[in-house]
Each structure stands twice: as C-alpha cells, then as structure tokens.
C-alpha cells in the first residue's frame, strides 16, 4: 500500500520512518540528500492534513542516550528545505513523544529523537514497537536505505499499525525493479570497489541475471591475478583467487560476459598527481607499482558495451577516484552513462555508498535515471536478499 491508498488521514498522526542518518560535522548536516528524499512524503501527508511525526535513527548509539548522536541538529536543515517549522521531541516514545504529538496541529511536522537511543529498537522488541505504535495512528515507511534492518521502527511497527510505503520508498522500489527485477534487456552491470570478499554474494547473484558485467576497482586486481596476470605490488585478495575463478566459470556457463580491465593505470604511490603510467594489463607491472585505475581502452570498451545495453546498474568506482588522476576511468564511464541516460537510450540506476560520491565527483549524479539513497540496503538488494522493511510492508 502506498500513499495513494491513504485517503482519510486528516488529523491523524502519521508515524513516518525516514532515514536521517546523514553526514554531519560539528553539529551541522553536510549532505542533505536523504532529507530531500523525504520531502515528497512529508509534503503529501501535510497536504492530507495529517500530523507528520518523523521517526529516524542516527549513527549507532547502541541503546544509550549519546548526546553527540542526537537528531536535534537536523531540525534546522529540514526547516530550511521544507520552508515550514519542524518541532522536536526529546524522546521517541512515552509521555514526551505523546504530548508533542497531541500538541501538533494537522499539517504540522515533528521530529522525534533518535530511535536507537532505546535498546528495543535494534532488538525489534515487540514491547518497544508497541510503545512506538502508541505515538501514531498509522505508519509510513519511507526509509528504503534502512530496510535491510529488521528493527522495531523498520519492521515491527508494520505489524502494529496500518502500514504504507512512502514516496521515496516507492520510487526506490520501482527503480530497482526496473534495473534488476524486470529490466529491459540487455542489462549491463558495473561493480567496483576494493574487495571481492565484501561483494561475493552480489557478484554471484549478478552473473545469473546480467548480460554483461564490468568489474573494476581493487576487486578487478584479484580477478586479473586469478587469471595469471602479474599484478606487481597491487592490492589484491590472493586467497580469493579460486573464488574469482569460480565466478568467472559461472558467468560463462550462464552467458554473462565479464569485462575486466584490458589496460590499467599504475603508480608507485597513491597521492594526488602521482607519476603514473598506463600499461596493458598483461604487460609487466613492477613489484613497486600498484594498479590504481582502469585505462582508456577499458573505458572505451565499457562505453561501447553500455551503448549496446538498455539497462545499467552501477555499484562501486572503477579506480581510486578520490585521488586524481586515478579518478579518470570512473569519471569518463560515469559521463558516458549519463549521456546515454539523458538521451533515453538506457535506464541507468546507481547506488551504494561510494558510488554516489563518485557520480557526484563526476558531476553526473543528477543525469542518471535513478540514484539510490541507500548504502547497505542497496547492496543487500543487489545480492538478491529479502529486505525485512520491504517485506513487512508487503505482508
């Protein structure tokens, strides 16, 4: 059920689970992407005359009231984005929360203090979920990026109150479905990042679903090593070589073409402007040299492969994009993807921590068809896992 199914909400308290786990420095929000993502749901509920009661976690206080992990600093930024006052309650349950809700006018917005200040949240304790349920009349989950957690505010509450998917949740699920659920074929994936070990389940799931998969970043080194390439002093998980070979064999059996870098950028040190050279991956790489990026030939081949595709799903950078010049492959590939997405040639969906930072660095995040706000939840979804927060809404 989405907000389209919600008609009689006037005067009711809508308990809206949002993800306000945002980057903060010295008590100020430094990236408001997740706050912006929540605005359509907040606005729609205000228009319906509901009391909008926002429920969220921040950081990992582990059930303790840690002052530096208060959600209070979010209020100012949210008010500026919303152009309306936002009240704050010092607790998310009990009298403080209930009194603040009672005091709120229809259309008003209230943010409750960090739900993870209570131990019952992460334990998904039914008694704590019941306390939360007392604060509202209905439940809206708009936090796709926290949906991989089976916590009281992401899972338990959906059992106790009439539950709806918010606008951001709905858009995330639609985009993910368009990318991996029922995609227009051919589908290409780009998976980068440092380690094969952290993305093993993801790679295994993808080779069974995609037509092509480009592997980049540090994990490509492990695959090259597994194929007998001398990777010099590059970082790699040599103990994962056998696993990498199994993934390659599985991809072949399932008709998924794997694109590994044909050429790479190597350097002796990882620092801005470091002296670098581009070599074919099968050429000699010195013992004191590390592979830090994919080379132009690899990017060209990847760009052609994207142009042959109708759907792209992207997670993880192709090189050490934080340290130029090792951002070149990620930036060029992102720009190529953005151009294809802008022209309508492909549906391009991206997500997962570093990926969004990399696309922002390339200046093209806004041009992708959809950029997920999720980190861990995006990865688990790409692994083919059931997300408890989504499942609870479907029940």
Catalytic residues: 34, 195, 353, 376
- Per CB under 6 A, which of residues 58..77 are in contact with ligand 3PG? 60
Quickly count: other Cβ atoms within 10 Å of residue 167's Cβ: 21
Instruction: Number of residues interacting with ligand 3PG: please give it, by CB under 6 A.
Output: 8
Please indicate if the annotation marks 60 as binding a ligand.
Answer: yes
Structural contact between residues 128 and 40, judged by C-beta atoms closer than 8 angstroms: no
Phi, psi of 36 (to 5 degrees): -60, -40
Q: CB 140 → ligand 3PG: shortest distance, Å?
A: 17
SS3 of residue 187 by DSSP:
strand
The reply on whether position 337 binds ligand 3PG by CB under 6 A is no
Q: CB 282 → ligand 3PG: shortest distance, Å?
A: 38
Query: What is the Cα Rg of the chain in Å?
Result: 23
- Whose Cβ is closer to ligand 3PG: residue 64's or residue 252's? 64
Phi, psi of 173 (to 5 degrees): -65, -40
- Per CB under 6 A, which of residues 342..381 are in contact with ligand 3PG? 375-376
Tell me the C-alpha distance between 258 and 234, whole Å.
21
Please indicate if the annotation marks 353 as binding a ligand.
Answer: yes
Structural contact between residues 29 and 35, judged by C-beta atoms closer than 8 angstroms: yes
The reply on whether position 248 binds ligand 3PG by CB under 6 A is no
- Whose Cβ is closer to ligand 3PG: residue 347's or residue 372's? 372
CA 368 vs CA 186, 208, 311, 314: distances in Å:
18, 24, 11, 10
Please indicate if the annotation marks 319 as binding a ligand.
Answer: no
The reply on whether position 37 binds ligand 3PG by CB under 6 A is no
Tell me the C-alpha distance between 368 and 313, whole Å.
10
Chain residue whose CB lies nearest ligand 3PG: 21
The reply on whether position 106 binds ligand 3PG by CB under 6 A is no
Residue that has been written with the tokens 């408890």 in this structure? 388
Burial of residue 73 (CB within 10 Å: 0-12, 13-18, 19+) is: middle
Q: Give the residues across from 140 on adjacent strands.
A: 16, 164
Tell me the C-alpha distance between 257 and 71, whole Å.
46
- Whose Cβ is closer to ligand 3PG: residue 146's or residue 248's? 146
Nearest alpha-carbon partner for 135 in 12, 307, 217, 233: 12
Structural contact between residues 53 and 112, judged by C-beta atoms closer than 8 angstroms: yes
Q: CB 378 → ligand 3PG: shortest distance, Å?
A: 9
Please indicate if the annotation marks 19 as binding a ligand.
Answer: yes
Please indicate if the annotation marks 149 as binding a ligand.
Answer: yes
The reply on whether position 21 binds ligand 3PG by CB under 6 A is yes
- Whose Cβ is closer to ligand 3PG: residue 96's or residue 357's? 357
Chosen residue from 44, 46, 149, 361 binding ligand 3PG by CB under 6 A: 149
Tell me the C-alpha distance between 312 and 327, whole Å.
20
Please indicate if the annotation marks 59 as binding a ligand.
Answer: yes
Please indicate if the annotation marks 21 as binding a ligand.
Answer: yes
Structural contact between residues 315 and 349, judged by C-beta atoms closer than 8 angstroms: no
> Would the CA dihedral through 175, 180, 186, 191 be positive or negative?
positive
- Whose Cβ is closer to ligand 3PG: residue 60's or residue 238's? 60
Please indicate if the annotation marks 108 as binding a ligand.
Answer: no
The reply on whether position 145 binds ligand 3PG by CB under 6 A is yes
Q: CB 75 → ligand 3PG: shortest distance, Å?
A: 18
The CA-to-CA distance between both ends of the chain, in Å, stands at 10
Piece in contact with ligand 3PG (CB under 6 A), picked from 45-53, 74-82, 132-140, 142-150: 142-150
- Whose Cβ is closer to ligand 3PG: residue 21's or residue 298's? 21
**Residues flagged as binding site for ATP:** 199, 322, 352-355
**Residues flagged as binding site:** 19-21, 34, 57-60, 116, 149, 199, 322, 352-355
Q: Which residues bind ligand 3PG (CB under 6 A)?
A: 19, 21, 60, 145-146, 149, 375-376
């Amino acid at each position: 059920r989405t907000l389209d199914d919600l008609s009689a909400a006037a005067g009711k308290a809508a308990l809206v689970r949002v993800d306000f786990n945002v980057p903060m420095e010295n008590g100020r929000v430094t990236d408001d992407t997740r706050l912006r993502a929540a605005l359509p749901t907040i606005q729609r509920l205000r228009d319906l005359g509901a009391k909008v009661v926002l429920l969220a976690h921040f950081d990992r206080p582990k059930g303790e009231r840690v002052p530096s992990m208060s959600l209070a600093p979010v209020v100012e930024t949210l008010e500026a984005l919303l152009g309306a006052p936002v009240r704050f309650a010092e607790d998310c349950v009990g009298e403080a929360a209930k009194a603040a809700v009672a005091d709120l006018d229809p259309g008003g917005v209230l943010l409750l203090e960090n739900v993870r200040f209570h131990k019952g949240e992460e334990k998904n304790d039914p008694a704590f979920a019941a306390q939360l349920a007392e604060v509202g009349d209905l439940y809206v989950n708009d936090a796709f990026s926290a949906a991989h957690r089976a916590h009281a505010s992401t899972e338990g509450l959906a059992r106790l109150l009439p539950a709806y998917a918010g606008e951001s949740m709905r858009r995330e699920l639609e985009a993910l479905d368009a990318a991996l659920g029922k995609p227009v074929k051919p589908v290409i994936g780009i998976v980068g990042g440092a380690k094969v070990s952290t993305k093993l389940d993801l790679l295994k799931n993808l080779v069974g679903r995609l037509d092509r998969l480009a592997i980049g970043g540090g994990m490509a080194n492990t695959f090259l090593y597994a194929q007998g390439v001398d990777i010099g002093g590059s970082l790699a998980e040599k103990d994962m070589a056998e696993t990498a070979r199994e993934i390659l064999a599985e991809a072949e059996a399932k008709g998924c073409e794997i694109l590994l870098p044909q050429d790479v950028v190597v350097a002796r040190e990882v620092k801005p402007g470091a002296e670098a050279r581009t070599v074919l991956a099968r050429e000699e790489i010195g013992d004191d040299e590390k592979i830090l990026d994919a080379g132009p030939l690899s990017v060209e081949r990847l760009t052609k492969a994207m142009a042959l595709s109708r759907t792209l799903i992207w997670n993880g950078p192709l090189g050490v994009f934080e340290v130029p010049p090792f951002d070149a492959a990620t930036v060029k590939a992102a720009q190529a993807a953005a151009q294809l997405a802008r022209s309508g040639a492909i549906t391009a969906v991206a997500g997962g921590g570093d990926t969004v930072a990399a696309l922002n660095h390339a200046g093209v995040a806004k041009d992708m068809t959809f950029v997920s706000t999720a980190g861990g939840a995006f990865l688990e979804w790409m692994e083919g896992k059931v997300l408890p927060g989504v499942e609870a809404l479907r029940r």
